[in-house]
Amino acid sequence: MRTTDEPTNDERLGEPRGEQPGTAHPTRPYGTGVGEDRAPQPSSGLLRSLLLLAGVAYLLSWVAGLVVFASSTQVRSTGGQVLSAYAGHTGAVVVQFVLTEGVAGLLFGVVLWRLGWVTGGRLGRVIGVTALTAAAISIAQCGIGIVLATSVLSRQDVDAASTAYDLLTRLDGVKMLLLAMTAGATALAIGRSRAALPSLLRVVTAATAIALTLSGVGYLALVDALRHGRLRFAAAAHHLRHRVSGLPEVGEVP
């Protein structure tokens, strides 16, 4: 004997009375606990907007950094030449390093990491890892540049200036090669994508990878010709990219 309020065996097992085990509940899929139709994520549009703003802010930080102080030093500049170029411009040089290496490095790291996350798979991991590593190097360069423009410059330490500037140059080379890998992986991902993308976009991305490779080799080998060759090649790629996208050109970033 049992009272009418005592649960049945089916109810003890989690099945409503009168339903056979395994029968889907009318308000929820059996065994999942979530609805079939998921509500759209309200943050996705906001995330895209933030990433767009980050891309624009990256460009503006570069342009602002170059406007604040335009250095004319070469990759083989001596410590004395560096100190001479920075003399009397401590504040401007610090702001330039913060904008072009610190802020810009953080912003392109975020944008490219998101690109890798969206791409997914092995190519997505390559894009994400190389972009974040390049961003970390850029932020480290910001710190080295600030020390060079303040402590080293105030002491007029030629040897320290030479060492710091050489390290900045070599790190630029490593960063450019990492970004070349990022651009190359992106070009491959575009080629494999089923999305309707402009046919020249892959070509432009591959050209950017070549330009960045030339730049990286130039910085690592301390060859100004390769560095300046990359700048001209990048300017041509920049112009072509805007022709393909139909967007107006707003300035060139070296």
pLDDT band at 244 (very low <50, low <70, confident <90, very high): very low
Sign, CA dihedral 218-223-225-227, equals positive
pLDDT above 50: residue 37: no
**Which range has the top average pLDDT, 72-81, 176-185, 220-229?**
176-185
Mean pLDDT, the chain, rounded, equals 76
What proportion of the chain, given as a percentage, has pLDDT over 70? Answer: 67
pLDDT at position 24 is 47
Q: Look at 237 and 145; give whichever has higher pLDDT.
A: 145
CB-based contacts of 200, cutoff 8 Å, min separation 6:
240, 244
Rounded-to-integer distance, Cα 70 and Cα 93, Å? 9
pLDDT above 90: residue 193: no
* Mean pLDDT score, 122-130: 93
* Mean pLDDT score, 220-244: 53
pLDDT above 50: residue 39: no
* Mean pLDDT score, 173-200: 85
Whether the CB-CB separation of 79 and 161 falls below 8 Å is answered with yes
Task: Report the range of poorest mean pLDDT among 61-65, 70-74, 160-164.
Answer: 70-74
pLDDT at position 6 is 55
User: Mind listing the pLDDT tens digit for each residue in 132-177?
Assistant: 999 999 999 999 999 999 999 999 999 999 999 999 999 999 999 9
* Mean pLDDT score, 202-219: 87
Q: Burial letters for 88-118: b for 16+ Cβ neighbours within 10 Å, e otherwise?
A: ebeebbbbbbbbbbbbbbbbbbbbbbbbbee
pLDDT at position 222 is 77
Give the helix, strand, coil percentages of the chain, each rounded to 5.
Answer: 70, 0, 25
Question: What is the DSSP annotation of 58-78?
Answer: HHHHHHHHHHH------TT--
Task: Report the range of poorest mean pLDDT among 2-11, 22-31, 66-75.
Answer: 22-31
What proportion of the chain, given as a percentage, has pLDDT over 90? Answer: 37
